[in-house]
Amino acid sequence: MKDIFLFNTLSKQKEKFIPIEEGKVSMYHCGPTVYDYAHIGNLRSYVFADTLRRLFEWHNYKVKQIINITDIGHLSSDADQGEDKMTKALKREGRPFTLSAMREVADFYFEKFKIDLKYLNIKTPSEFPFASDHIEEDKELIETLIKKGFTYKTKDGLYFDTSKDFHYGKLGNIAKNDESRPRIVVNDEKKDFRDFALWKFNDMGYDTTFGKGFPGWHIECSAMSMKYLGETFDIHTGGIDHIPIHHNNEIAQSENATGKAFVHFWMHNAFVIVNEDKMAKSANNFTRLIDLIEKGYSPIAYRMLLLQSHYRSPMNFSLEALSGAKEALYGIYRMLSELSSGGNMENSWIKKFEETINDDLNTPRAVAVLFELLKSDVDSKNKLTTALKFDEVLGLGIKENITLLKKETEEIPIIIKNLVAEREVARKNKRFDKADILRQEIGDLGYIVEDLESGPKVYKK
């Protein structure tokens, strides 16, 4: 297999990827807290994770991929403060404060999340484990930490004592200079502001030997990831906001419980930015995928926009930028729909593309290589075959969309065909003013006419 280099947040550098088990990759991705709809900023993490999976599958790795679903235990602040997000959803929707009602809310928003993933051409992971289905695993992990002396109890919960972990904060190197975390401690019984809840007491929760309540958000991810991937696995991903608290807490509790390295590669995507601010529900500056669809944008155009930025770079979102990505994407579809199938892959171009994606998933450069291929003098059949191979990583749905485009072209109504023919006569007679009027008329009827050297091509808008 070819060498793959990935940026590891733990070491702060690119490293050659060496799997724990030859030919296999184990990946865990922090999933959504299903108390509300996901927005397009949230969805960047899953496009990134999907593209990473596709990279490994391109290289014939067998991938086991887990995306967890948080349906209990996540407070509005990652630092164990604020209102429980699922409880907030129950209040908002006027539902009773019961575990069954909480699961009903979670199931509803999970189904909406899956629809978003399908729209974005994101492959279904191996498992979607729900936090509420893994309470026993949480209990067992907490019991291990209690026995090893890493916990203490306060009036509101059971906490992990970070002073017992001499390597706490090694992810992102925040142990000694941590300016990213709030130092205000609501619970004055906490020994240190870094200490975090393993279990929060609550009369609505689950019975345990250490008190009734809910698992902490951090313990849930450790318990679920280790259940499905083992005590040590290859890759853990998430947004950069998870680095200071959530992921450092996962490392601390997991490694002190097992005595083993938790994850070999930690990978994090940057935010989607709107008007210089992070897109977030709390800032009320978010956009849902359905909002884009209602404005006439294909979800794959948003995927294209994300791929045009490196996953570790902030992506500035605007409708203007999305329109540019949409035009670029449809340009790819149109160009490839003109080509015949049945060719061979161009090995020199495959190598060029592979070098970009193997270099820390450099999708902006990979997209550029695709455009270079389309403009090249490569045999048309080979060009299509090679582009389809690229799309195994990019996930732009090229095969499906060019098939649809060809079908729509064949089904152009006779009135549109007549207008196009009339426009061609006007152009040949240099009646460009009339040609422009006819183009507008064709557009008003829902079609686009494109002038190519081979003649005019018509597409449905």
- Residue-wise pLDDT for 133-179, tens only, equals 999 999 999 999 999 999 999 999 999 999 999 999 999 887 555 55
Residues 101 and 183 in one domain: yes
Q: Is the distance from CB of 45 to CB of 29 less than 8 angstroms?
A: yes
Q: What's the pLDDT band for 407 if we cut at 50, 70, 90? A: confident
- What is the per-residue pLDDT for 338? 86
272 has a pLDDT exceeding 80: yes
- What is the per-residue pLDDT for 159? 97
Q: What's the pLDDT band for 282 if we cut at 50, 70, 90? A: low
Q: How are beta strands 62-67 and 24-29 bridged, if at all?
A: parallel
- What is the per-residue pLDDT for 452? 67
Residues 433 and 337 in one domain: no
277 domain-assigned: no
Residues 45 and 180 in one domain: yes
417 has a pLDDT exceeding 70: yes
Q: Give the pLDDT mean for 299-322.
A: 96
Mean pLDDT over all residues of the chain?
92
CATH number for the domain including 395? 1.10.730.10
99 domain-assigned: yes
Residues 363 and 445 in one domain: no
**Structural domains in the chain (count):** 3
Residues 319 and 170 in one domain: no
Q: Is the distance from CB of 213 to CB of 202 less than 8 angstroms?
A: yes
Q: Give the pLDDT mean for 287-297.
A: 92
316 domain-assigned: yes
* Domain final position from 206, 235, 269: 269
283 has a pLDDT exceeding 70: no
Q: Is the distance from CB of 341 to CB of 405 less than 8 angstroms?
A: no
Q: What's the pLDDT band for 340 if we cut at 50, 70, 90? A: confident
285 has a pLDDT exceeding 80: no
Q: Where are the alpha helices (DSSP H) in 395-449?
A: 398-410, 414-428, 432-444
- Residue-wise pLDDT for 6-26, tens only, equals 999 999 999 999 999 999 999
Domain carrying residue 416? 412-460
> Cβ neighbours of residue 330 under 8 Å, at least 6 residues apart?
none
- What is the per-residue pLDDT for 185? 55
27 domain-assigned: yes
Ranking 55-59, 108-112, 199-203 by mean pLDDT, the lowest is 199-203
Q: What's the pLDDT band for 254 if we cut at 50, 70, 90? A: very high
For residue 341, the one-letter residue type is S
CATH number for the domain including 65? 3.40.50.620
Residues comprising the chain, all counted: 461
Q: Give the pLDDT mean for 45-52.
A: 98
Residues 418 and 333 in one domain: no
283 domain-assigned: no
215 domain-assigned: yes
Residues 102 and 165 in one domain: yes
157 domain-assigned: yes
Residues 329 and 430 in one domain: no
Residues 201 and 95 in one domain: yes
253 has a pLDDT exceeding 70: yes
Residues 360 and 418 in one domain: no
Residues 250 and 386 in one domain: no
Residues 181 and 223 in one domain: yes
- What is the per-residue pLDDT for 91? 94
* Domain final position from 375, 391, 408: 408
Ranking 13-22, 35-44, 70-79, 99-108 by mean pLDDT, the lowest is 70-79
